Amino acid sequence: MKDKIVQKSVDLFLKFGFKSVTMDDIANEMGISKKTIYQHFQNKTKLVEATALTILDNISCGIDEICTLDKNPIEEIYEIKRFVMHNLKDEKSSPQYQLQKYYPKIYASLKSKQFVKMLGCVTENLERGVAQKLYRDSIDINFVARLYFNGIISLKDQDIFPRENFSTPMLMNNYLEYHLRGICSPKGLETLTQLHTNQN
What average pLDDT does this structure show over 74-96? Answer: 80
Q: Identify the weakest region by mean pLDDT among 41-45, 86-90, 125-129, 180-184.
A: 86-90
pLDDT at 86 over 70: yes
Say what the pLDDT of residue 15 is: 87
Residue 5 lies in a domain: no
Nearest Cα to Cα of residue 183 among 142, 128, 126: 126
CATH code, domain with 165: 1.10.357.10
Does residue 92 belong to any structural domain of this protein? Answer: yes
Q: What is the pTM of this model?
A: 0.86
Q: How much is the mean pLDDT over the chain?
A: 91
Q: Is residue 10 part of a domain?
A: no
- Answer whether residue 7 is part of any domain: no
Residue 157 lies in a domain: yes
pLDDT in tens, 47-70: 999 999 999 999 999 999 998 888
Alpha-carbon dihedral 112, 114, 119, 125, rounded to 10 degrees: 180
Confidence of residue 119 (pLDDT cuts 50, 70, 90): very high
The whole-number pLDDT of residue 188 equals: 96
Number of domains in the chain: 1
Domain membership of residue 3 (yes or no) is no
| Spatial contact of 100 and 43, defined as CB atoms under 8 Å apart | no
- Mean pLDDT within 174-180: 95
Range of the domain at 153: 52-199
Q: Say whether pLDDT at 169 is over 70.
A: yes
DSSP state string for the chain = -HHHHHHHHHHHHHHH-TTT--HHHHHHHHTS-HHHHHHH-SSHHHHHHHHHHHHHHHHHHHHHHHHTT---HHHHHHHHHHHHHHHTGGGTT-HHHHHHHH-HHHHHHHHHHHHHHHHHHHHHHHHHHHHTTSB-TTS-HHHHHHHHHHHHHHHT-TTTS-TTT--HHHHHHHHHHHHHHHHB-HHHHHHHHHHHHHH-
**Residue 148 domain-assigned (yes or no):** yes
Determine, yes or no, domain membership for 106: yes
